C-alpha cells in the first residue's frame, strides 16, 4: 500500500494562488460571501499563508500553502465520536460527510486549524453551478470538510489503469493543486517509494514538517532556506 | 423507623405540604413569564435549525462557544445534588435532612440541559444517534455520553428512592388524580418493617455508588478539552479542577434554590440559619480549593513560559478576554471569600449573594476555558473575536427558564423537604446521635461505674 504525501518547496512558491483556485474548482468548495469572510467563515481547503521574517531592510517574505497535513497520527480522527473522519489504509485522512454530526470536535483538535465547518448551506454563483465536479460530493450545511488529497482522483486513476490493463503507477495520481502549480513548487507521490520525487525531496536537509514536535507525523513536507 | 402516620405528618409538617396542596399566589404569572421565555427560545432554535449554525457567532477557529460553555456549566451544577447529598448522608450529617431533596432535584433536571446544550451545538442534530450507532470509543465525547447517561440514571434512582415513603404519605392524604399518581409512584409502600429496611439499605448503597460516578462525570467532561493538545486545555489537573469547580458551582446553585424556596414557601422552620452557615462553610472550602487549582494551573503555565501557552495566557489576563477573566476572579473568589470567611456575614443573605456570585463566576470560568484557547491556535489564523449571537443568548435564556419551570413544577407535585427524613430525625436520630457520640468517647473506667 502506498503512503501518500506531498512536498512543497517554499523557495519556489510565488504565492500566485493557482493551487487555491484549482482546489476550489476541483472539490466543489463553496463560495464565500464577503459577509462570511467578515465573520471568519471562509472555506478554503488550501490557502496561502504569508510569512514575514526579519525587520526592514532585511526582510524575507515566504508564502506557505496551508492544507491538511494528513498526519500519520492525526489528533482529529481520534476524537471524532462517529468515525466520520478517519485515516484510510493509504494514509489519507478522509471525511465521511453523511456520517458527520457536526460537533466540530475534530476541528478543535487539529493543531493546524485546517478543518472547515459549513456554517451555511453552500452556494455558487449561477454561472458556476454548471461546472461543479461530479466526482466530488457537494457538502451541505452542518458538516466538517477539508482537503482529501483529491482522493477521488486516486480512485479514478486506479480504474483507468485497470481499464487499460496495466499496473497502477504512483504518478498516475496527482491532486489538483500539485498539477496546477506553475512554479513546480509542489510534488506528490508515495513516500514509501524510494525512487519517487517526494521521497527525495522529503529527505532534503531543507525539508521540515510543521509542528513536528507535536508527534502528529504530518505527511506534508515544506522545503525552505535554500539559495 | 419513622411512622407513616400521614394525618400526624400533615399536622406537624404542614408547611411542607402547603405548596403542593394549595396554589401559591403569583405562581401562574411566573409560569407564564417562563413560558414566554421558553417560547422565544424555541423560536430561536427553529431559526437556527432552518438556517444552520451560521446563526451563531461562531467562526474558524472558535468552533465552540456558549453552548459548550453551558454544557460544562450545567453538568457542573448537577453536582449540587447527588454528590453533596450523598456525602452528607454518608457522613451522617444530621443537618442534611431538610436539604437533600432540593439538591437531588437540581441534579436530575439540570443534567437534561447539559446534554441538551450539546445537541443545540450540533451542526446535524438529526444525526445525533450516530454517536451510538457508529460509536468510536477513542472519542472523549463518547465517554461523556456514557458517563452522563449512567449518572442520569443513577441520580433519578437516588432521587426516587427517598421519595417513596413521602409518596406513600401523600397518597394517603391526597384526593382525585393526585391520589392515583401518588399511589402508582409509591409502589405499594405501606411502611412495614421490611420495606423500611429495604429502602434504607437501597439508599445507602446508592449513596456510595453515586459518588464515584459523579466524580467520573465531571472528570470526563474536562477530558473533552484536556485530551486535545490545544494550548491551556492540555492539562493534567483539568480532571480534579473541573470536579472542584463543579462542586463549587453546585453548592452555589443549591444555596440559591434554598433561599428562594424558603422565602416563597415559608420554609423558615426547616431551612434555618445553621443550614446556610454550614453550607456557607462548605462553599468557602470549595472557594479556596478553586483558588488553589486556578493558581496552580496559571502559575505552571506562566513559569514554563511556552510561547504558545503564553499567547492564550495573555489573551485571558490582559487581552481581549481579560474582562471575562477578571470578572470571573472577582465573582469566584473575592466576593464569596470576603463574605463567607466572616461568621457575621455568613448569614442567609450573605450566602445568597455569595452563591449568586459563584454561579456567575463559574459560568465565566467555563467560558474563559473554552473560548480563549480556541481563538489562539498554534498557527496564525485571522483573529475574529467571538460574540455570541441573539440566537445563542436566547437559547441560553430558554435553558435557564425551562430549568426553573421544571423545578417549580416539581415543587408543586412533590414535597421539597423529605417529610419522613425530618420525622426520622425527630423520632429516631436525636437519641441515636447521642448514643453515637457516646461511642466516640473513652469508656468510663469500670470502678467508677461500680461506685
Ligand atoms: S492536519 Fe489537522 S485535519 Fe489534517 S490530519 Fe492532521 S489533524 Fe487532521
Ligand atoms: S465534526 Fe464531524 S468529523 Fe468532526 S468530530 Fe464531529 S462528527 Fe467527526
Q: Tell me what pLDDT residue B449 has.
A: 54
Q: Does any CB of chain A come closer than 8 Å to the CB of residue B53?
A: yes
Q: Does any CB of chain A come closer than 8 Å to the CB of residue B63?
A: yes
Report the residue from A39, A83, A105 with minimal CB separation from B59.
Answer: A39
Chain A contacts of B142, Cβ < 8 Å? 81
**B189-199 pLDDT, tens per residue?**
888 889 989 99
Cell numbers representing residue A42 in the block: 471562509
Residue showing cell 456510595: B208
The whole-chain average pLDDT of chain B stands at 91
| Rounded mean pLDDT, B297-323 | 94
This model of the complex carries an ipTM of: 0.92
Helix H or strand E encompassing B389 = none
Q: Tell me what pLDDT residue A161 has.
A: 94
Q: Work out the percent of chain B whose per-residue pLDDT is above 70.
A: 97
Residue in A100, A172, A190, A200 with CA at minimum distance from that of residue A141: A100
Q: Tell me what pLDDT residue B448 has.
A: 58
Helix H or strand E encompassing B279 = helix B273-304
Q: Does any CB of chain A come closer than 8 Å to the CB of residue B54?
A: yes
Q: Which residue of A has its CA nearest to B121?
A: A103
Q: Whose CA is nearest to atom 5 of ligand 1?
A: A70
| Rounded mean pLDDT, B178-193 | 88
The set of protein residues with a Cβ atom below 6 angstroms from ligand 1 is A 68-71, 74-76, 93, 110, 112, 114-115, 146, 216
Residue B424 has pLDDT above 90, yes or no: no
Domains along chain B with CATH numbers:
6-428 (1.20.1630.10)
**B78-94 pLDDT, tens per residue?**
987 888 888 888 888 88
Residue B446 has pLDDT above 70, yes or no: no
What confidence tier does B3 reach under pLDDT thresholds 50, 70, 90?
A: low
Q: Whose CA is nearest to atom 4 of ligand 2?
A: A106
**Chain A interface, best mutation among B57, B63, B121, B142, by max A CB count within 10 A:** B63
Residue in A52, A69, A90 with CA at minimum distance from that of residue A7: A69
Residue B21 has pLDDT above 80, yes or no: no
Helix H or strand E encompassing A149 = none
Q: Does any CB of chain B come closer than 8 Å to the CB of residue A99?
A: yes
**B132-159 pLDDT, tens per residue?**
999 999 999 999 999 999 999 999 999 9
**B377-405 pLDDT, tens per residue?**
999 888 888 999 999 999 999 999 999 99
Cβ A86 under 6 angstroms from ligand 2: no
**B254-285 pLDDT, tens per residue?**
999 999 999 988 888 889 999 999 999 999 99
CA distance B221 to chain A (A): 13
The SS3 call for residue B352 is helix
Alpha helices in B66-192 (DSSP H): 66-77, 82-90, 100-121, 130-133, 140-160, 163-173, 176-186
pLDDT tens over chain A, length 227 residues = 889 999 999 999 999 999 999 999 999 999 888 989 999 999 999 999 999 988 888 998 899 999 999 999 999 999 999 999 999 999 999 999 999 999 999 999 999 999 999 999 998 888 888 889 999 999 999 999 999 999 999 999 999 999 999 999 888 999 999 999 999 999 999 999 999 999 999 999 999 999 999 999 999 999 998 64
Q: Does any CB of chain B come closer than 8 Å to the CB of residue A40?
A: yes
Residue B335 has pLDDT above 60, yes or no: yes
Report the residue from B118, B121, B381 with minimal CB separation from A113.
Answer: B381
Tell me if the bond preceding A57 is cis, omega within 30° of 0: yes
Q: Which residue of A has its CA nearest to B225?
A: A109
A106, A76 Cβ separation under 8 angstroms? yes
Q: Tell me what pLDDT residue B380 has.
A: 86
The structure's pTM equals: 0.94
Report the residue from A83, A108, A119 with minimal CB separation from B52.
Answer: A119
**CA B117 to centroid of ligand 2, rounded, Å:** 17
Structural domain spans, chain A: 10-184
Architecture of domain A10-184: 2-Layer Sandwich (3.30)
Complete DSSP assignment for A109-134: H-TT---EE--S-----HHHHTT--T
Q: Which of A68, A87, A97, A103 to mutate to test the pocket of ligand 2 (most atoms within 8 A of CB)?
A: A103
From CA B241, how far away is CA B246, in angstroms rounded?
Answer: 9
| Rounded mean pLDDT, B155-175 | 89
What confidence tier does B105 reach under pLDDT thresholds 50, 70, 90?
A: very high
The SS3 call for residue B111 is helix
Residue B118 has pLDDT above 90, yes or no: yes
Q: Work out the percent of chain B whose per-residue pLDDT is above 90.
A: 68
Tell me if the bond preceding B61 is cis, omega within 30° of 0: yes
The DSSP 8-state label assigned to residue B197 in this structure reads H
The DSSP 8-state label assigned to residue B334 in this structure reads I
Alpha helices in B13-93 (DSSP H): 14-21, 27-51, 66-77, 82-90
Amino acid at each position: 500500500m502506498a503512503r501518500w504525501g506531498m512536498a512543497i518547496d517554499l523557495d519556489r512558491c510565488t504565492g500566485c494562488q493557482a493551487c487555491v483556485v484549482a482546489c476550489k474548482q476541483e472539490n466543489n468548495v463553496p463560495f464565500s460571501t464577503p459577509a462570511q469572510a467578515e465573520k471568519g467563515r471562509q472555506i478554503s481547503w488550501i490557502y496561502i499563508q504569508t510569512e514575514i521574517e526579519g525587520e526592514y531592510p532585511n526582510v524575507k517574505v515566504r508564502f506557505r500553502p496551508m492544507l491538511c497535513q494528513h498526519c500519520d497520527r492525526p489528533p482529529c480522527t481520534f476524537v471524532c465520536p462517529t468515525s466520520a473522519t478517519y485515516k484510510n489504509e493509504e494514509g489519507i485522512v478522509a471525511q465521511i460527510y453523511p456520517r458527520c454530526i457536526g460537533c466540530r470536535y475534530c476541528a478543535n483538535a487539529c493543531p493546524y486549524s485546517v478543518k472547515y465547518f459549513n456554517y451555511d448551506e453552500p452556494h455558487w454563483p449561477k454561472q458556476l453551478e454548471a461546472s461543479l465536479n461530479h466526482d466530488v460530493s457537494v457538502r451541505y450545511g452542518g458538516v466538517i470538510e477539508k482537503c482529501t488529497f483529491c482522493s477521488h482522483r486516486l480512485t479514478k486513476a486506479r480504474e483507468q489503469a485497470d481499464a487499460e490493463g496495466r499496473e497502477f503507477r504512483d504518478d498516475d495520481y496527482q491532486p489538483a493543486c500539485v498539477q496546477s502549480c506553475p512554479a513546480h513548487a509542489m510534488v506528490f507521490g508515495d513516500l514509501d517509494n524510494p525512487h519517487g520525487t517526494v521521497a527525495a525531496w522529503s529527505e532534503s536537509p531543507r525539508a521540515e514538517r510543521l509542528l513536528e514536535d507535536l508527534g502528529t507525523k504530518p505527511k506534508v513536507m515544506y522545503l525552505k532556506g535554500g539559495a | 423507623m419513622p411512622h407513616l402516620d400521614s394525618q400526624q405528618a400533615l399536622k406537624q409538617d404542614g408547611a411542607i405540604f402547603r405548596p403542593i396542596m394549595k396554589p401559591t399566589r403569583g405562581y401562574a404569572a411566573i409560569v407564564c413569564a417562563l413560558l414566554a421565555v421558553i417560547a422565544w427560545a424555541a423560536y430561536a432554535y427553529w431559526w437556527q435549525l432552518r438556517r444552520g449554525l451560521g446563526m451563531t457567532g461562531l467562526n474558524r477557529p472558535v468552533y465552540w462557544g456558549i453552548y459548550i460553555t453551558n454544557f460544562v456549566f450545567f453538568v457542573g451544577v448537577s453536582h449540587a445534588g447527588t454528590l453533596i447529598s450523598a456525602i452528607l448522608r454518608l457522613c451522617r450529617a444530621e443537618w442534611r435532612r431538610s436539604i437533600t431533596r432540593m439538591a437531588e432535584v437540581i441534579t436530575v433536571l439540570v443534567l437534561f440541559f447539559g446534554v441538551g446544550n450539546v445537541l443545540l451545538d450540533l451542526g446535524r442534530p438529526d444525526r445525533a444517534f450516530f454517536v451510538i450507532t457508529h460509536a468510536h470509543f477513542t472519542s472523549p465525547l463518547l465517554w461523556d455520553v456514557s458517563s452522563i447517561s449512567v449518572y442520569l440514571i443513577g441520580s433519578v434512582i437516588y432521587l426516587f428512592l427517598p421519595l417513596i415513603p413521602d409518596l406513600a404519605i401523600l397518597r394517603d392524604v391526597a384526593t382525585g388524580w393526585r391520589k392515583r399518581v401518588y399511589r402508582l409512584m409509591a409502589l405499594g409502600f405501606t411502611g412495614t418493617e421490611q420495606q423500611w429496611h429495604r429502602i434504607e439499605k437501597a439508599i445507602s448503597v446508592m449513596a456510595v455508588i453515586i459518588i464515584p460516578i459523579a466524580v467520573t462525570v465531571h472528570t470526563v467532561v474536562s477530558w473533552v478539552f484536556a485530551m486535545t493538545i490545544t494550548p491551556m486545555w492540555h492539562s493534567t489537573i483539568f480532571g480534579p479542577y473541573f470536579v472542584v469547580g463543579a462542586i463549587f458551582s453546585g453548592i452555589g446553585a443549591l444555596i440559591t434554590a434554598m433561599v428562594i424556596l424558603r422565602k416563597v414557601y415559608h420554609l423558615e422552620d426547616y431551612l434555618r440559619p445553621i443550614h446556610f452557615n454550614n453550607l456557607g462553610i462548605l462553599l468557602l472550602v470549595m472557594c479556596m480549593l478553586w483558588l488553589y487549582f486556578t493558581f496552580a494551573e496559571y502559575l505552571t503555565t506562566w513559569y514554563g513560559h511556552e510561547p504558545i501557552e503564553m499567547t492564550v495566557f495573555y489573551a485571558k489576563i490582559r487581552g481581549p478576554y481579560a474582562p471575562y477573566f477578571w470578572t470571573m476572579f472577582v465573582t469566584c473568589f473575592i466576593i464569596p471569600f470576603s463574605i463567607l470567611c466572616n461568621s457575621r456575614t455568613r448569614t442567609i443573605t450573605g450566602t445568597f449573594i455569595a452563591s449568586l456570585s459563584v454561579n456567575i463566576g463559574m459560568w465565566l470560568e467555563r467560558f474563559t476555558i473554552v473560548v480563549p484557547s480556541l481563538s489562539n491556535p498554534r498557527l496564525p489564523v485571522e483573529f475574529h473575536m467571538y460574540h455570541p449571537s441573539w440566537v445563542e443568548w436566547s437559547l441560553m435564556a430558554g435553558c435557564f427558564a425551562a430549568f426553573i419551570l421544571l423545578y417549580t413544577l416539581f415543587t408543586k407535585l412533590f414535597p421539597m423537604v423529605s417529610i419522613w427524613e425530618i420525622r426520622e430525625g425527630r423520632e429516631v436520630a436525636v437519641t441515636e446521635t447521642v448514643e453515637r457520640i457516646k461511642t466516640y468517647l473513652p469508656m468510663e473506667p469500670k470502678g467508677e461505674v461500680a461506685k
